[in-house]
Amino acid sequence: MSVFKVASRYAKSLIDLAGEQGSLETIKADMDSFIAVLKSSTELQAVFANPIVPLDKKKNILDALFKDKINPNILAFFKIMINKGRGEIVYATAQEFIREYNEVKGIVKATVTSAAPLSEANLAAMKEVLAKETNAQVILINKVDQSLIGGFVVNIGDRQIDASIAGKLSKLERYLNQNN
């Protein structure tokens, strides 16, 4: 079974638990903190993923870093995962929790890549259009790629909208190559 499927199942269990306890928002905030710590330390991710590191040591590391800082249920949940030999997917499970939380709350992530940074007004307008298009709350991230020359590329879910000059030039080149 793929890491994604296993992490998704664990995350779904944690979402259900948080929902039953009425602590979904609290656990989501704690999960963001947990992810930030693991994301900033590839060494820590490697320790959890390494089957040679003793389970007790992994649980002690969790306690040292997160005890009294995140919801005790999250800590207990990750310790259970480690006891079951699933330490390698703790980080993936936390990320999957956020993805499932966003799905439950009707939140979608979108990335707009532009040749230059977009103004706050442009980002707000684009966010509004995307929210209407998807019927969801949109979290919009702006990335800059000067190779686009001008315009922008929006990625939302599995859809891509290419309104860049580089994209239009590429389409024109393909068209001209097909007709020669």
Query: What does the pLDDT look like over 52-86, one tens digit per residue?
Result: 999 999 999 999 999 999 999 999 999 999 999 99
Domain annotation for the chain: domains and CATH numbers: 3-103 (1.10.520), 107-178 (no CATH)
Structural tokens at position 87: 């330490």
Q: Which helix (H) or strand (E) holds 179?
A: none
Average pLDDT, the chain: 92
Name residues whose C-beta falls within 8 Å of residue 98's C-beta, 6 or more positions apart in sequence. 28, 31, 32, 35
Name residues whose C-beta falls within 8 Å of residue 71's C-beta, 6 or more positions apart in sequence. 23, 26, 27, 30
pTM exceeding 0.95? no
Instruction: Give the whole-angstrom CA distance, residue 53 versus residue 152.
Output: 46
Q: Are 62 and 82 in contact (CB under 8 A)?
A: yes
